[in-house]
Every structure is written in structure tokens, then in C-alpha cells.
Amino acid sequence: MRIRGMDFSSVPSRAHPIVIAECRLEADRLVLEELVDVPDLTRFEAALAAPGPWLAAIDFPLGLPRVFVADQGYATSWASYVQWAEALGRKGFEQCLLAYKKHKPDGQKEPLRRTDRLAKSQSPLKLYGVPVAKMFFEGAPRLLGAPVSIPVLRRLDVEQTVVEAYPALVVRHLGAGKYKGVKRGDGADSRRAMRERIVSRLEEGIGAPYEIRVELGTAARHRMIDDWAGDVLDSVLCAVQGAYAARRQGENFGIPADADPLEGWIIGSELALATRRPSESNPSGPLPLVLRAAAFAARKHRDQRRKDASGSPYVNHPIALANILCLEAGIEDPITLAAALLHDTIEDTETAEEELRGEFGDEVASTVMELTDVNWLGKIARKRLQISRAARASHRAKLVKIADKIANLRDILSSPPADWALSRQQEYFDWAKSVVDEVRGANGELERRFDELYRQRPGSNGAS
């Protein structure tokens, strides 16, 4: 059978195309025949219109959370709310999501589908970071207009089937870590090595429940390893999930009978139940969550040092943030404190978002993601992005941002990095103020403490 793994992009280009892994499934062998780059959405539509029989596994959310769809008044069918979203236009759809989130309390701004909770994937309403909401907007209407059957969401009597994939499920099954997103610098070599490890495991063969061996040509193998963004590898991982579904076609493609017909289903997400950690539900109250976060941060940052003159242990920094929030500002929310302790783990260590979701749950992981810089951007661009994103951050993320700037200003005043000239110290103080100014109103006590420190700006009147 023909299997197609599709790594999707809402804004494909020649530099960043949609990648389709065209494969042939023969019993327990998945033979990669071709890697196809699709540089625009028009050609993606043409790929969907290709004659069957084939099954494609695509890595974007094919459906939206029932709670959101019902709130908008379109809880009748998948097709009805996809048509509604398309009619809004891209800008209108994004404004609708922002308006929905604006009036929801923390923890309810980006609801999850049932399948997202099982897969530990992101909310389909997420507009920033990995903008899966934009992927839904560009992808779902094209699926609606294509001659394809989508289990649970829309069944047609055709030979072309599309299912939702999530490559992280296969990566997690392999026990692999972070493998993409860093082009050069810290972490680039380790992520390339991880891609090579994943590719080798695919070639050796994966055991139950996938039970598949992937056959690759030399050129495809090199491309999967060399692609720092991970798109090429992800397309093949999608194909693996597609093969899993195809071999269960007579069993509803492996999808549970009670899957929500509004939300859809990520292929294989039900398998995550077997590996879900009991700690995620945190039955013992808030203190164990914070203690586990502190232990996790200590382990992840154990080989790192701060840039101060003494080279103090890096973990002192996230602990300082938690102290500022709890002991100085009286904040006792365990999600906020855990996020403060973990705020640099994804950005500065070999920690994946999925790992945090598995260990600490969706709310902690989502807050940490809000606090994580986009590593592939240059330093200046990252700093500008922090400022522009600050005002849109959740209340919890705003609190951690202010505490982070307080801790850093204190460190600069007491023991600045040896190679930081006065001008660089002043630049950091000014940039930190620009970030805090965007989140004012979040917590008066934290803002007061920040302002006291800013008045001590190095080289300014009154500064020591």
C-alpha cells in the first residue's frame, strides 16, 4: 500500500517546504521511495488530489477542541466549523482565538482535545511558538476541499485517506530526546547525533506497537540527519504512524470507537496511556510538584555555570526566581513556582516540551514554553521578540518574567560577568525595563522591586 508522511507548514516556501515522504508498505517493511518538497500550498492541494489508493499521515491538528467550537456556536460537525474558520479569513480567525483567550482564566486559554491530553501535544489554539492554530487554518479547509476520507471527522467512499500524526509519539517510543531546532552553536551537534540515532533505530526496526522497519536510501538517510529543522525526519516519522494506521484499517485505523467526531484523533495517542506517569496528576498536593521541579532543574542544569565572576552553579538562578515569587511577592501558586524553576530547561538544556508535559502536566509545560526563546533567531531578534511577546503572555508567565529580570539585575549589580563592559550592563538594564513595561499590572510588589533595582542602573546617578 502507498503511505505518505507529510510534514506540514502553514507558510511553505522553497527554503522551508512541506516535505512528503512517499513510501510503500509491504508487511512489516516501510520502503521510502521518494522525498518530495512542496514549496507552496497550491501544490499541496495537488498532492491531496492525487489518485489513490493511499493513506497520508499529516502532522497538524485536523480538528479543534470541542469546548472552543461549542463556544463559537459551531458544534454541529467538523465540516461546518472548518467552513466557518475559512470564511473568517486568516486574520479574522486569529483575532477570534485571541478574543476567546482574553476572557478565559489561566489554564483555560488554550484548551486541549482529549487526544492532545493523551499524546501530550499542544493545544490546537496555539498561535505562537509552534503555531499549530495557523496550520489548522491553512490545512483543514484544504482537506475539506479534497477528495479524501478522514476517519472520525469525515468519511467518504474514496481510496484516499488522511489521518492526523504527531511524530513526537514515535520519538518518545524510541526513548529519544531533542533532535531538531538548533542550526549551529550549543546543542547543534547533540541534536544531529540524536537524529542519527533515530534514523538508525528506524532502519533496525521498531517493536510493538509499530512493528515496522524503514528502508532508506543513502541520500535520504543523509538528508534526514543533516536537516537541522527536523522536517525531513518528521515526514518519515509521520509515515511510520501512517503505516500503523493502515495495518489497522479494519479496526477503524486503531482509533477508539468513542473518539470525538468534532475533535478528531492523533494516530496512536491512546498508546500513551500505557506510559503515562502517575506524577502528572500530582495527587499529593502542590508541594511535591514544586520539589520535583526543583530536583528536575538541578539535574538538568547540573553541568552549567552562571556568567558571574565566581561561576556560580546555574541552578541558583531558577531557585532565586522561585524565592522572589514566593518569599518576596507572596505568590504560592505551585504552577507558577514550578514554571519558574523550570523556565530555562527547554531553552538551555536537552529537555523536550513533551518531557515536561509528561513530568509536570500541561499547565506547567505551556507556561515554560511561553518563557522559552526561539533559539534559531539571532540574539537581537530574540530580545525584540521577548518584548513583543511579553504583553500577550499568560499571567503566570508575566510573573516569572518579572522575577527573572529582578534576579538578573541583582546579579549584575553584585557580580557582573567579567567580560561585560559598563555599556553592556546598561543595555541589559534598559532591555529588561522594556520587557517589564510590557507586563505592568501583573504584580505591584514585583514591579516595585524591579523599579528599585532599575534606579541603581550602573553608571546612573545614585547607582553604587
Hey, which residues are catalytic here?
Answer: 347-348
Burial 97-134 (b: 16+ CB within 10 A, else e): beebbeeeeeeebbbbbbbbbbbbbbbbbbbeeebbbb
Length of the chain: 464
Per the structure block, which three cell numbers stand in for 91?
A: 486574520
Backbone angles phi, psi at 133, to 5 degrees: -65, -40
Beta bridge partners of 54: 2, 160
For residue 28, the SS3 value is coil
d(CA 368, CA 356): 9
Q: Find the helix packing angle between 286-300 and 334-342, rounded to 10°.
A: 0
For residue 32, the SS3 value is strand
Per the structure block, which three cell numbers stand in for 10?
A: 502553514
Whose CA is closest to 116, among 136, 96, 142? 136
Whose CA is closest to 309, among 196, 390, 420, 222? 420
Confirm if 167 and 119 have CB atoms less than 8 A apart: no
